[in-house]
Structure 1
Amino acid sequence: MAGTLMTESVVRQVQRRTVALLSVAQVFAGIGTGATVSIGSILAVELSGSTAWAGAVATVMTLGAALAALPLASLADRRGRRVGQVTGLSLALLGTVLIVLSVVSGIFVLLILGAAGIGVGTAASLQARFAAVDLAAAEHRGRALSTVVWAVTVGAVAGPNLIQPGAVVGQALGLPPIAGPFVISSAGLLVAAVLLFAGLRPDPLLLAREIVSQQAAAQPAVTLPAAPSQARPGGSLVRGMRAIRQSRAAWLALAAVVGAHAVMVGVMSMTPLHLQELVSGPGHAGHPATGDVLVIIGFTISLHIAGMFALSPVMGWLTDKAGRTETIMIGFATLIAAVAVAGFGQSSTVAVAVGLVLLGVGWSASTISGSTLLAESVGQESRVVVQGVSDMLMGVAGAVGGATSGLVLSGAGYLGLNMVGAVVGGAVLAAAFVTLVAARRRKSVPG
């Protein structure tokens, strides 16, 4: 298609195919990360022999995603979305192999390295939502983005529930049962990488740039969102932060995305350990979990992940209809309700599960509305690098949340951990409320 001025119908066809392919790949990639999220803290305690390391896997995963966000964005900027996506998923595949080796050998360091690799895959999956809008018309961006985000639900919810089937696979292969889920994860990531490598042609980002280039020399046959300028530096933290600093709305959007992720990761990463103690009894942290405990943990984390992704199209619609800032407020109000239910209901597995579902829903509303507001609050030429900065800071926030959550859990208990989340959520909710009031006052002033 190079050198040919594409018609609107052809672009729509390529866009539909791109969104469909990204969605299917996200299903399989989600399977690759779900097991790590659900049993990572238990595996870390078993291999290290100390509850102090309970948050290590979640911390390293989120830190790996943070450190990979800008390099992957820069790689996609230079080589296209296909190369960036396949590279990230391939490193995640390597990560699952390292985790299997860590279980077999008992070497804790291999678990940490494997978690870092899976974190890189998480960064790639996050950036897939941006690949879905490279060729999308302006009025359809939200729908395209939310479709890809929603596709994560199938794989991510299935992942934690593969713990028991994975144990059967592990035994059949002569591996420890807890290694089995990561074998299935490896297969899912391999399928996702192959699908994108073979099928993401033409590359949506490169094609969008080609069309914009043609528009400069001829009457355009189709109106597309402006692609990023190829003259800009790729993956620049300084440049991204400079663009964000120029807009008060961008600051709020960044606070919403980062704050929601910190609260979600901090509470979610410690919930499996809390459930293990709750079901098995005090003093069982660090001991191998029984089958019943694993089922409860897997089911709870599945519900949480469903809350994160299943309603993403609804959150996209709400963002467009109710408003960006208003939906941010709804999201953080839901997050506060979530930590209240989970914290004060800590002695009930049902209450904890309900709290985790609300935690996922609040994260979804805050992240989708915050990401939309962020994209609209900076110039088109800075949008891609700002998206990379946002994903990087999300990862940093998640890493901090995961690293400190184990310490907070040890010192203040599960209720105390949830109350810390309530304080963070309340701060962002207050900032959003002040911003909304100020914006409405400006609109009411004549002239």
Structure 2
Amino acid sequence: MTAEPAAPAIEEVARIQSRTVRVLAAGQVLGGVSFGATVSLGALLAADLSGQESLSGFATASVTLGAALCAIPLARLAGARGRRFALTLGNVFALIGIAVVITAAAVRSFPLLLVGVVLIGAGNAGNLQSRFAATDLAAPARRGRDLGTVVWATTVGGVLGPLMITPGEILGGAIGMPPLTGAYLFSIVAQAAALALYLVALRPDPLVLAQRIERASTRVRAAGVDADRPVAARYAMFAVAASHVVMASVMAMTPVHLSHLAVGGPAGHGDHADPTAVTLLVGMTIALHVFGMYGASPLFGYLADRIGRVPTVLVGQGLLAVSLLVAAAWPDAQVAVVVALFLLGLGWSAATVAGSALLTESTPLALRPRRQGLSDTAMTASAAVGAVLAGLVLGAFGYGVLALFALVLVAATTLLSPLGRR
């Protein structure tokens, strides 16, 4: 039987980790291009193929469903076969999903469209794991920064993806693709490039190497074998999921609320506004929100390394609270809503980066993939439920009351924070 190779030196591990973070960041850019186009086009395709605008939300729900269903299986595959296997399998799911979506548009099948979007969501579950892959070999003092760097890379793809819609339609029309599917040409190229990148460049596999280092370091507890702190791990999962629900529920209802404000008030009464002005307002607000979500993640990663994971989670809760109070106090002021959405993104970023780092270091390496998959499942599934409930609250009570309802989760995350230190 061949002996297992010796664990690499600390300097070599640091070099491998630096390259791993660069590869994961590049993969996030490519995955963001693909996923950004899907989010932008899914609702339009759903409305077109179903013939009912009220069913357009099923596309977003299907993406979330796909991610929730596959987060735990992909995480367990990562634990057994390595991160590269799980990430590339996610790319394969996304490529198949894109092909199914294009076929659904060609044959005008709404159910088939939802199947394709679920598969794309499954691919996004793999993409979500990139932030955890960035921590497998990271030194404890740099976990937050490395995780934040990979999350930040999503900004690039998230901005480029929607920008590909118009040129994609032109190119798709020229080669006879169904309407509203041209941008998926770029998605196919991006997903295929990410697949090749992980297969070729994500070597050695960070999780497999971390497992080998742990086996070689069993006699030295400080060599990277973290103690199991299940209470802190559960708090980390709750903090990430609760912050995501707050962000997703308020963000999902903001375009609807802004469109009402643009035509004369919260109920949508008054003179009709210029549709271009409405889309510009909504687009600018969501762009600032997305920038808040991802653009500052390296800063919050640095903060989590410097002052601690739980204090940074609480910084995120403070930002979320200010955001929600602004939205509740001035729900009919467009400027206030824009500011609230930007702060909402910042709060989500701080809580997600610090909470993910806390989950990682509160869990032994052997249990990490399972708990990380559970965390992603809880995050995506609860956000889907939150978005549905947010629509009901918005319709019954208005945007300001929705913000106050969301404050309950912020308060719960803050009050439970001592659990994260146990």
Bucket of the pairwise TM-score, normalised by the shorter protein: 0.7 to 0.9
Amino acid at match of 2:252: S
Residues 1:59 and 1:153: Cα distance change in structure 2 (over 3 Å):
same
For structure 2, the residue ranges without an aligned partner over 5 or more in a row are none
Q: How does the TM-score come out when normalised to structure 2?
A: 0.85
1:305 matches 2:290: yes
Alpha-carbon offset, residue 80 of structure 1: 1.1
Which residue of the partner structure matches residue 250 of structure 1? 233
Residues 1:388 and 1:179: Cα distance change in structure 2 (over 3 Å):
same
For structure 1, the residue ranges without an aligned partner over 5 or more in a row are 229-242, 443-447
Separation in 2, partners of 1:13, 1:266: 40
Which residue of the partner structure matches residue 271 of structure 1? 254
Equivalent positions of 1:105-184 (< 5 A) are 105-175=107-177, 178-184=180-186
Deviations 1:156-211 (A, max 9, x none): 12223333333333433434553233332232222111211222122122222233
Which residue of the partner structure matches residue 240 of structure 1? none
Deviations 1:390-417 (A, max 9, x none): 1111121122123333333443344443
Alpha-carbon offset, residue 283 of structure 1: 8.1
Aligned residue for 1:209, secondary structure, equals helix
1:412 matches 2:397: yes
Give % identity.
42
**Could you say what the CA RMSD is over the residues aligned between the two structures, in angstroms?**
3.3
State whether residues 343 and 418 of structure 1, in contact with CA within 8 Å, keep that contact through their aligned partners in structure 2.
yes
Residues 1:22 and 1:379: Cα distance change in structure 2 (over 3 Å):
closer
Aligned residue for 1:256, secondary structure, equals helix
Which residue of the partner structure matches residue 391 of structure 1? 376
Residues 1:329 and 1:405: Cα distance change in structure 2 (over 3 Å):
same
State whether residues 169 and 177 of structure 1, in contact with CA within 8 Å, keep that contact through their aligned partners in structure 2.
no
Alpha-carbon offset, residue 46 of structure 1: 4.2
Amino acid at match of 1:382: L
Query: How many pairs align?
Result: 413
Separation in 2, partners of 1:417, 1:96: 34
State whether residues 211 and 365 of structure 2, in contact with CA within 8 Å, keep that contact through their aligned partners in structure 1.
no
State whether residues 226 and 364 of structure 2, in contact with CA within 8 Å, keep that contact through their aligned partners in structure 1.
no
1:203 matches 2:205: yes
State whether residues 158 and 302 of structure 1, in contact with CA within 8 Å, keep that contact through their aligned partners in structure 2.
no
Deviations 1:248-299 (A, max 9, x none): x334322211111112222223334444555578889xxxx96665555444
Aligned residue for 2:416, secondary structure, equals helix
Which residue of the partner structure matches residue 302 of structure 2? 317
Amino acid at match of 2:57: G
Amino acid at match of 1:20: R
State whether residues 167 and 181 of structure 1, in contact with CA within 8 Å, keep that contact through their aligned partners in structure 2.
yes
State whether residues 331 and 366 of structure 1, in contact with CA within 8 Å, keep that contact through their aligned partners in structure 2.
yes
Deviations 1:189-240 (A, max 9, x none): 2211121122212212222223333446xx99xx852399xxxxxxxxxxxx
Alpha-carbon offset, residue 133 of structure 1: 2.1
Residues 1:42 and 1:405: Cα distance change in structure 2 (over 3 Å):
farther
Alpha-carbon offset, residue 347 of structure 1: 4.7
Higher mean C-alpha deviation, range 131-140 or range 120-129: 131-140
State whether residues 71 and 373 of structure 2, in contact with CA within 8 Å, keep that contact through their aligned partners in structure 1.
yes
Residues 1:125 and 1:320: Cα distance change in structure 2 (over 3 Å):
same
Q: How does the TM-score come out when normalised to structure 1?
A: 0.81
Separation in 1, partners of 2:79, 2:123: 17
